[in-house]
Each structure stands twice: as C-alpha cells, then as structure tokens.
Amino acid sequence: MRDLPPWSSKRHTIPMPKSKIKKLIEGRTHHDVMLETCLDAGISRPRVRPVSDFSRETRVEFPRSLRSKYPLETRFRATVKVCQKHWLHNGQPKGPPYLRASDIYIQRAVPRPGSKSGRAYDQIWEKIS
C-alpha cells in the first residue's frame, strides 16, 4: 500500500463497529435490562433510565414508590416492553417510544455465612415488583 498524504480523507478510514444500542420496536420485550434511578435537568422527581442495551435518553415507566424508596443511582434489573402512545383521532404515534418495566429486581449485599472476618458479602438479586 502506498503512503497517502496526511490530508487525505482515505488515510483515516476505519470501519466503525456496529452499535450495541437496540432499536425501539413497539411491542418487543427485552429481558434482564439494567436500569438506574437518576435526576433529569429541571425535574425534581427521580427518573429511571436504561444503563445498557438502549439509549440513556430513553424514558422508562417505573413505579413511583420504588423510584422514591431507593437512593439515586440505584441499579435495578427488569424485563422491559417497548411501548408507544397514539393519538385517538388518527392513530399516529404520540411522542417517542418508551420502556415499561416489569419483573423488577434489586441487587442486595448479604453477609456471607461462615465468613471469618465478617466482611465477606454475597451479591443476590431480589425480586421487588
């Protein structure tokens, strides 16, 4: 391969890896999606956003009681379904698609039985909704 001048656009052509962000297809269900509580700018209530699999800007419908019960940045694992609201008069999509969480689990640290130091913990997932 011959040397290309530094200003050549072909010099830095590197294939980009495919994005790991999943497309939001209405009605599709995804299992074991990691979610976390967060604060959005200008909004006082905690929100929930996906950590993996989807764009972090994607909205998640999540029980308010669980959002307020746990501190910010608490991680959850859930099954999510892609939903879309529609206008009644013409059936057109109303707003962007969003995720609805169900089968919600939270990770807890439980002291490991038989630990000599008492500082060893096991991480378990506990279903909370």
Query: Nearest Cα to 75, choosing from 109, 41, 98?
Result: 109
Q: Give bridge partners of residue 72 from the DSSP assignment.
A: none
Give the span between the Cα atoms of 14 and 77, in whole angstroms. 35
Q: Within its chain, how far is the Cα of 14 from the centroid?
A: 29
Per-residue pLDDT of the chain (129 residues; tens, 9 = 90+): 444 444 444 444 343 344 577 889 999 999 999 999 999 888 889 999 999 889 989 999 999 999 999 999 999 999 999 999 999 999 999 999 999 999 999 988 888 888 888 888 888 899 998
Tell me, what's the pLDDT at 109? 85
pTM of the model: 0.75
